[in-house]
Amino acid sequence: MSDDHDDSPIAARVRELEAILEEKGLLDAAELDRALEAFAHKATPANGFRVVARAWVDPEFRARLLDDANEALPAIGLSMGGGLQVQRLLVVENTPQVHNVIVCTLCSCYPIALLGPSPTWYKSTAYRSKVVSHPREVLEQFGFTLPDDTEIRVWDANAETRYMVLPRRPENTEHLTEEELATRVTRNGLIGTAAV
């Protein structure tokens, strides 16, 4: 059974379900732990950085990513699988007119496979409630100020759908390689709480 010490009601229900499935012989706890450990080992923000860098240099990949991210990811050896279920990934693109921010108002749904473990602030009630009603104020708390005429769109993740922001490519980076561009991307940029 999972050693997760999360005391939330959802975590308690998961532990209870794991115990029932183990008792009925439908779940091998050691196998589940191995699968989760393997998934967590591969889950890193560097994956998201690679996705963005490829989208910046490859217009065809960018178009596929924005159209159907789950179908585009295997082109660079990634997927939204690896956990207990495959989640749908929607990638939303920042433009000069629109800035996107990701949140999960119910809990902390997040594309772990591409962004690694979620930051503590992402799971906080303060972020989850305030970014929906006052996104510009929240971004300013992160030290990120947008022009007044920039529209801010807040995307609410859920159990079936995760989101990732495709940030705008920084100016004067045309000379950089894809690998060099990946080093410019940040996890907060992929959530939308920072520029890249």
Model pLDDT for residues 60-73, shown as the tens digit of each residue:
999 999 999 999 99
**Catalytic site includes residue 133:** no
Tell me which H or E stretch contains 95.
none
Q: Please return the burial class of 145, using the count of CB atoms within 10 Å of its CB with bins 0-12, 13-18 and 19+.
A: exposed
pLDDT band at 108 (very low <50, low <70, confident <90, very high): confident
Q: What is the pLDDT of residues 18-47, one digit of tens each?
A: 778 778 887 777 776 665 555 555 789 999
In the predicted model, what is the mean pLDDT of residues 183-195?
A: 97
Instruction: Write down the pLDDT at residue 41.
Output: 54
**Chain-wide mean pLDDT for the chain?**
88
Which domains, from first to last, does the chain contain? 9-41 (no CATH), 43-191 (3.90.330.10)
Q: Which of 2, 79, 104, 118 is catalytic?
A: 104
In this prediction, what percent of the chain has a pLDDT beyond 70? Answer: 86
**Collapsed DSSP state (helix, strand, coil) of residue 15:** helix
Instruction: Write down the pLDDT at residue 117.
Output: 87
Q: Which of 79, 109, 118, 124 is catalytic?
A: 109
Q: Which of 8, 107, 124, 129 is catalytic?
A: 107
In the predicted model, what is the mean pLDDT of residues 90-102?
A: 98
pTM of the predicted model as reported, rounded to 2 decimal places: 0.80
**Catalytic site includes residue 79:** no
Q: Which of 108, 124, 129, 133 is catalytic?
A: 108
Identify the residue with better confidence: 189 or 3.
189
CB atoms near residue 119 (< 10 Å): 17
**Catalytic site includes residue 104:** yes
Identify the residue with better confidence: 98 or 81.
98
DSSP states along 34-47: HHHHHHHHH--HHH
- 151-156 and 98-103 beta bridge pairing: parallel
Q: What is the pLDDT of residues 124-177, one digit of tens each?
A: 999 999 999 999 999 999 999 999 999 999 999 998 899 999 999 999 999 999
**Catalytic site includes residue 108:** yes
